[in-house]
Copies of this chain bind each other. A is one copy, B any other.
Amino acid sequence: MAVGSKIRRRDILAGTLFEVQISMSEKPFEYAISIRLHDTDAAGRLFFAHLFRHAHDAYEALMSSLGFPLAALIREGETLLPLTHAQADYRRPMLHGDRVRVEVRVMEVRRRSFAIGYRFLGEQGETLASARTVHVLINNDPAALPPALHAALSTQLADDSMPP
């Protein structure tokens, strides 16, 4: 485990208002997709913008697994986390019918924002694409991520040695 992530853990603990059990995950969160017909275009490959749709589905699944389903956050309206940045690199084409594994890691957790990294892997474990999204808190009073969310995200922090 990297030094950086230990420091982050201390920062988090210092900021929490109540005790949180932090178990740093050694394995990234995983999400599986199939490339469907509507994901492809007339060039026979995944249309690039759909990678972001799949990334966001994986992010939604991660947030649910951490106990913060996006649907509830949006309905309650107190903690909105809109994206301020998104990027992707495409290495190999994804074709109709391909089964793709998505590894999801928290790349950074700050007071009011966090970054999620995604790695899309083929059946041989080869990297097909990677992506990154940055989410910023929009709320009124406590100008920081809710401590429980901050702590939950921190459990998914990637090792510095394994950036997507």
Q: Which residues of A contact B (CB under 8 A)?
A: 34, 36-38, 40-45, 47-50, 52-53, 56-57, 60, 69-72, 74-75, 80, 82-91, 93, 95-97, 133
* Given A34-B60, A49-B53, A85-B89, 11 additional A-B pairs, CB 8 A: A37-B43, A37-B71, A38-B41, A38-B53, A40-B41, A41-B41, A48-B56, A49-B56, A49-B86, A69-B97, A83-B90
Are B42 and A74 neighbours in the complex by a CB distance under 8 Å?
yes
Can you name the residue of chain B whose Cβ is closest to the Cβ of A93?
A: B82
In angstroms, Cα B71 to Cα A95, docked, is 9
Report chain B residues within 8 Å CB of A74: 37, 42-43, 96
Contact partner, A38, options B34, B47, B85, Cβ 8 Å: B47
Are B90 and A87 neighbours in the complex by a CB distance under 8 Å?
no
Known: A84-B90, A88-B86. A96 touches B36 (CB 8 A): no
Are A82 and B43 neighbours in the complex by a CB distance under 8 Å?
yes
Report chain B residues within 8 Å CB of A42: 37, 40-42, 44-45, 71, 74, 95-96
- Distance in Å from the Cβ of A94 to the closest Cβ of chain B? 11
Contact partner, A37, options B56, B84, B96, Cβ 8 Å: B56
In angstroms, Cα B60 to Cα A89, docked, is 20
CB-defined A-B contacts under 8 Å, sample of 13: A36-B56, A37-B47, A38-B47, A38-B49, A38-B53, A38-B57, A41-B41, A42-B74, A48-B86, A71-B97, A74-B96, A75-B96, A85-B87
